[in-house]
Amino acid sequence: MTMNAVRLTAAALLLAACAPAADPSRPPSPSPGDGVTEAGLLRLADRRDFDEGYLRAGLAHRDPAMARRAAWVLANLRRAEGVALLGPVLAHRDTSVAATAAFALGQIADSAAVPLLVPYADAARAAAAPTVVAEAAYALGKIRHPQARAALETLLRTVDADGSGAREVAGAALLAIWRQGRPTPVDAIEPWIRHADPEIRWRAAYALARRPEPAATAALFRAAADPEPLVRSFVARALTGPMADSSGVGRQAAWQTLRGLAEDDPAQIVRINALRTLGTYPGEPTLRVLLGAAGSSEHPYEVIAALEGL
């Protein structure tokens, strides 16, 4: 060993000897979310306690399950102050965490969340992150705001009907859009009532039937023979006498359709809705149908519906 090497080795040993001994009681350097526990988060929810620092640390936790729990607590607290905490979490690499953050923003239902949610209610994200887009759509439906309404309409018009994630994304937007009030965007909804997937079709029928309007009733009437019972049930629910008149369907055509649904449809839910709606068509033909159902049906709920119609 050369003299220089000896000197270097001696210097290294001297420095090591002078260094303080490691303290075994000292914890390692903190990581995001250290100190946050599930019990602690549940305690905040139970006490309705908005501890901003603790919740922020929970959302930043390295364990996605803990971050989801923190977002769930914010959804439970429903405090407007939570919007600022949840906004950045929408971009979380774990889509389950991002989707829970979107859900929480919908539960808070503060208009400040709308500009945060709109970029995630994007058809371009549907294939890669359908759960995040769907939860963003549900959340926007809970916040009545022009920007939220526009985002939902755009989503329904632009999402690929045959693409990956269409059921989750379009289905969520259809169940959310009616909450935005009148007028119902029939032109954005109606194409989905002709989709191949019955799960999407019944959601479209629901969106059209939820707030009765003439244009929506006309669109529903065209789906009266749909093979999916839930679609037919919403048609039967929407074809009231006043709507038949104002929609251009015509009272006689609507009545004939309802009578067929009430007497011959194989699904009980359709027959029940048709019997109730027939009550909005006063006259002897309606009385005969309702009395016949009340007197001959073997199903108590159909008898009750017929009596309600009467």
The backbone region for 213, taken as left when phi is positive above 0, alpha when psi lies in -120 to 50, beta otherwise, is: beta
Comparing CA positions, the residue from 175, 173, 177 lying closest to residue 165 is 173
Q: How far is CA 139 from CA 7, 68, 115, 251, 264, in A?
A: 69, 16, 12, 38, 40
Question: What single string gives the DSSP state of each residue in 282-298?
Answer: -SHHHHHHHHHHHHH-S
Quickly count: other Cβ atoms within 10 Å of residue 229's Cβ: 16
pTM: 0.84
Q: How far apart are CA 173 and CA 165, in angstroms?
A: 12
pLDDT of residue 183: 92
Please give the sequence-ordered ranges of beta strands (E in DSSP) within 179-270, or none if there are none. Answer: none
Residue-wise pLDDT for 164-201, tens only, equals 899 999 999 999 999 998 899 999 999 999 999 999 99
Residue-wise pLDDT for 84-123, tens only, equals 999 999 999 999 999 999 999 999 999 999 999 999 999 9
Tokens found for residue 34: 């250290």
Comparing CA positions, the residue from 206, 164, 167 lying closest to residue 189 is 206
Q: How far apart are CA 243 and CA 252, in angstroms?
A: 12
- Band (pLDDT 50/70/90 cuts) for residue 33 is low
pLDDT of residue 35: 85
Question: Which DSSP symbol is given to 250?
Answer: -
Question: Which DSSP symbol is given to 191?
Answer: G
Look-up of token digits 């075994």: 24
Comparing CA positions, the residue from 197, 190, 245, 247 lying closest to residue 217 is 247
